[in-house]
Structure 1
Amino acid sequence: MAGSPNSNLRGFNYAVQTLLKQPAQFLPHLTIPTFTHLPENLGPHLINSSSPSNQATTTTTTQEKKQQLRTPSIRALVLDKDNTLCPPKTTTFPPKILDKLAALRNSPTSPFNLTKNPQSILIVSNRAGSHPNYDSEVASLEKQLSHLQIPVFRLPAGTEKKPFCGDEVVKWFREREVISSPNEIAVVGDRLGTDVIMSGMMGSWSVWCKEGVFEVGEEGKPERNLLEKMEVWIEKYLREKKGLKAPAPRGWE
């Protein structure tokens, strides 16, 4: 486990460096309001949403055209906890979130069906599972999700938090023969600076839950903090003003 339960200064610094050097890596492949809007069949949505409607005019290369003809086959989900599945710093699942998880696990057409692909969903948090201080959170989450068999990732000793634990997450799925390639994974979370950047480091696809746990106007929805406001502004600026789009995962040729 990492030594400090709270600090992720290196992650913040890495996000800033990425924004300065490779700003497109800051952009998600798909943006949805909340986790409840996640499509069951993700692949077509990841491709169709990667080109912003208001982007500047660019020349589409032959390679890009080939990539657009392919559809990702997503066999695994990495889910953030805080402000994606639960309100921040809690283990309380809103009923609609639990309903969505149950649908993904029980639908006969879902790639994440419990019977057909039982180890296809993993919660990866920078809180629960990242330090022994949060072991009670892990126990609470897994107890509530025991009927759906959704585990919490335990950060291996000596491994840093998101976005730096991507290789270990990929290894977790490989060892269980869920995937053959990282581009069969979609990372779903509310933070561009951790969840989206980690997906790029993994060679996976990213889904940004822009509104967090609560829909716009929903009771209990907190105001965005400063970092969250900055991420929303930066994403819009890069997409609309700079004409950038999320790059396909490495190896997606």
Structure 2
Amino acid sequence: MVLLISSLAASAFAADRAIQNGIDAWQTRGDGSTFVDFARTPIPAGFFCAGSAPFTAKVAFQGVPVVTNTPKALGATDTIVQRLDDAVFNKRGVALTRTQVRALSLKSVTPLETGCGKFEATVRLDGAQPITQMVIRRENENGGTYSGPLWLNVKLSFTPVGGVSREALELPLEVRFPANTAYPWRAKAVTPVPTGFVKVDTDGDGVADTYLPGTSNFYAGLSSKPGRPGALEKNYQVCHDSGTDEQHCITLCDTCQIP
């Protein structure tokens, strides 16, 4: 009976021609692979204090878990990308969906050294976010590859460390990542743990404000190739590189998946 049920479930899943809309939950390592480099576009002189020199260093970032209405509902997730549409595969095995970054929570790995003292840098989303398109390709019944550009508008905040004032200095930044290299995805059965949506802090003010759907039947970053069905490459990173001054590398938050 168990084998019969499993076989029926597998057959039905393999025949599914659509990726349901939902979110992809990611986490950012503090290993230097995520950064903003100010060498070509310095922070202007006088930004950190009167008479401060232009800031031209590279700042490395790491993830800070996003705030949710239910504590730890998304585990260590610091970056959320939402797939806005149900993506239906055509006869060539290609499906399209609009995507949008819905949450981002990063902080500098170490404080910035300036002539005005040390500053901690944080990154959060700034206002309405652009919408881009993801291309999903099915290569076998278990999954395939996906790719697409990722655009976001962020606000960098710089807070003095150890000073009398804790007032943050803010700098807006438009980040435009072109279509990334094709990365793997694997089909995923939807299991209700927990059920429903999750309320997430989308603007970085520490208060959960927006309900987002679950992760649906799509695992970004998991291989579907024979011999390692669904096996997570432990050091696998998905990197978005602007080709200029910004790079964001993320790994699947495999303990953060909700239906």
TM-score range with shorter-chain normalisation?
Answer: under 0.3
Choose between structure 1 and 2: higher strand proportion: 2
Q: Which structure has the bigger radius of gyration?
A: 2
Normalised by the length of structure 1, the TM-score is: 0.26
Higher relative contact order (CA 8 A, sep 6+): 1
Choose between structure 1 and 2: higher helix proportion: 1
Normalised by the length of structure 2, the TM-score is: 0.26
